[in-house]
Amino acid sequence: MFEIPLAELVLETLNRDDKTPLQRQLYQIIHDLINNGKLPPDRKLPSSRFLSKEVGISRITVSLVYERLITEGYLYSREGSGTYVSKVVTPLVASGSAPAMKSWVYSERGARLLLSESSPPQPKGEFVPGIPDVSEFPFHIWRKILGKYYSKKYLHLSGYAESGGYVELRKAIAAYLAISRSLPCDPDQVIVTFGTPQSLDLCTRLLSDPGQQAYIEDPPYWATESVFEAGGLKVNCIPLDEEGMALEDEMIAANGKFIYVTPSHQYPTGVTMSMERREKILSLARKHQLWVIEDDYDCEFRHDDLPLPSLQSLDQGNHVIYFGTFSKSMFSGLRLSYMVVPPGLAPAMRRAISNLYLPGMLQLQAALAEFINEGHFYRHIKKMRAIYFERGDLFRERLKAVFGNKVTISPGNSGLHLMARFNSLLSFEQFSLCAHRHGMIVRQANFRKPREHGLCLVLGYGGVPTREIAAAVDRLHQVFIEGERGLFFSGT
């Protein structure tokens, strides 16, 4: 396997008189060379040091471009060997004597899905957002209950799930929501799914057609935009203010279909939607006949004495579909979530989930039902709420102590993460490259319509042990120091 003469290909296209930054030019050149087949799969690229020298671009610029292309799936690296072209997004070219016809392996929306932001590759590490502390979970109890339902006594649970999930779990969820969220619902309204993305995908497939429009928060939760676009919807990112999504009547098109919101604790800004804004969203949904998807993904970890009512409990027009998940309250790999749908929609939703996904895992659902009914779930939530509250306070205090006026922290004191805007000249690509060297996995708050300057990060503290928070923030500060020093010496 030989190295590609990438330097010559780059120099043919690079324009130093262009106002476009060299980093962006280099990225686009390599990106296009892969897409047009000039850089074939599994071929080795020159090292960043060599390409930097041959092309006359700083090494950090080349490294950042390689890092971004690896993140997006265009390249992959082998430890101790180098960087190679990926197979993911390469075109197929007809062979033989027939005229060459280029046809893409993936559809246009499929390619967007593959290149969009994805979940962190590991469920642990400093500052990974949305990851709970699994070390505190009572696995000894969970293992005992789960083992019980995998015995021969419960062979009838080895088939497919019907009616939207195991009936005892749907009853347990309905009872829990009535107490914890003041959300009265019938178990028939509860649909058990395998993760919030599946809940969203099911709604998209059943309730919309390609070309219709969805309205989501800006910045959005990473999976929402991907799932909607994969379903062929046009996604509109609506800015937030201090009251939540600032959706206005004139923004809604005739073919609008969904409003997706996280009113209890917006991801990632932490904004809580006001009562007036909740009523406005419901009014717009009634007027334009829109479905409202209310994602209450970490409602268990709010610390308000009197939390605002859910949109579904306020809804009088049967427009709201409520999303919940056990991935944050228990552990991420559980992949059990649920929807509470309007009564009239429940039969169609149960049939749709069966036709599309043929779900099973009834033993797992039965174990979770018992875990809830025996009080283990509530005791775990109560314990973790206190732990996360303490960690959030410590994390905020340490960030302010170390970074001072160079950081602005999101409001609220709930959930497993916070959003922090740093007064720094570093780009996210530059920062993440430095963070990776320290074993940190960070996520950027991707505003579609940026209104402020600075590096905006989503920092998870749920999985960082309380005793390690101060040292973790100190390492974060060291990453900034190293990144800005490298920026200064590189001249980029």
Q: What is the pLDDT along the chain (492 residues), one digit of tens a residue?
A: 445 678 888 888 888 888 788 888 898 899 888 888 888 888 888 888 889 888 888 888 888 888 888 877 788 877 667 888 886 554 434 344 444 434 344 566 665 666 555 555 445 567 888 788 889 999 999 999 999 999 989 988 888 887 899 999 999 999 999 998 889 999 999 999 999 999 999 999 999 999 999 999 998 887 898 899 989 999 999 999 999 999 999 999 999 999 999 998 888 888 999 999 999 999 999 999 999 999 998 778 776 666 789 999 999 889 999 999 998 899 888 889 999 999 999 999 999 999 998 888 899 999 999 999 999 999 999 999 999 999 999 999 999 999 999 999 987 667 888 999 999 888 887 888 788 778 787 788 888 776 666 789 999 898 899 999 999 999 999 999 888 876 555 544
Beta pairing partners, 323: 295, 339
- The per-residue b/e assignment along 152-190, b for 16 or more CB within 10 angstroms, e otherwise, is eeeeebeeebebbbbbbbbbbbbebbeeebebebebbbb
Contacts with 341 (C-beta within 8 Å, 6 or more apart), sequence order: 189, 191, 321, 322, 349
CA neighbor of 298 nearest in space, from 178, 217, 418: 418
Contacts with 444 (C-beta within 8 Å, 6 or more apart), sequence order: 428, 432, 455, 456, 457, 458
**pLDDT recorded at residue 311:** 95
**pLDDT recorded at residue 50:** 87
Q: What is the pTM of this model?
A: 0.78
**pLDDT recorded at residue 98:** 41
